[in-house]
Amino acid sequence: MNTDELNRFLARAFADRKLSGTERAALADWLSQHVRTDQHRGLARHAAFEIARSAPPSSDVIDWLEAVMKVLAPLAPSPASAPADEVLFAPGDACRQRIVSRFAACRRTADVCVFTVTDDRITKAVLDAHARGVRVRLITDNEKQHDAGSDVARIRAAGIAVKVDDMTEAAEPGANGHMHHKFAVLDGARVLNGSYNWTRGAGELNFENVVDSADPVLVMAFAAEFARLWARF
């Protein structure tokens, strides 16, 4: 699917940070003519997220992106396709395997926001995606990055952009707490989120969960949170 025409349309529609009724109808018409598969729809979502990322995070940007996502969201899931949303549980390998498989399928962007990263198998999947040309960004906790077994230094050394919550203003909300999120937004079209820390112990010892979702409203919300924290740290 050639997305050049879509990119030009989205850029024009983004100029005033509003999606008018006429623009919404034109976007829906373009999708009906050009989007044939879930992959095509994912590419269209990615294009919208890239346009939104070109400007500083703001409520207008989030409102525009939400309006676009409502048009891009499929009206109904294809019965022949894999579930768009699924929940995995630990103990066991299901959570880790899903994280690794989603990174293996990632092609463009991976925005990762996790408290700690020590599982070398997950780290390898992240580094492999980076080596394929995926633009990976990582936000993690400033204290946990120094834990024994932490892979953050290894990820940073590979050339991946890393930020931590090392805020200096004690009065700022969150300054004395932890960056405790555990989520990743992949290709602007899917989010992994849950209690599951990216550690071996999470899969082998703990009762944990990972929600794997392509819901555009959830994806948009997590992408906006990542953008807010990336700008803040």
- Cα–Cα distance measured from residue 113 to residue 189, given in angstroms and rounded to the nearest whole number: 16
Which is the catalytic residue, given 111, 187, 212, 215? Answer: 187
Structure tokens at 131: 């080596």
CA neighbor of 45 nearest in space, from 232, 197, 217: 217
Question: Annotated catalytic, 182?
Answer: yes
Question: Annotated catalytic, 180?
Answer: yes
Which is the catalytic residue, given 63, 180, 181, 215? Answer: 180
Which is the catalytic residue, given 46, 130, 181, 182? Answer: 182
Residues 6+ apart with CB under 8 A from 188: 42, 45, 46, 48, 49, 50, 108, 109, 219, 223
Residues 6+ apart with CB under 8 A from 120: 151
Question: Annotated catalytic, 181?
Answer: no
What is the set of active-site residues?
A: 180, 182, 187
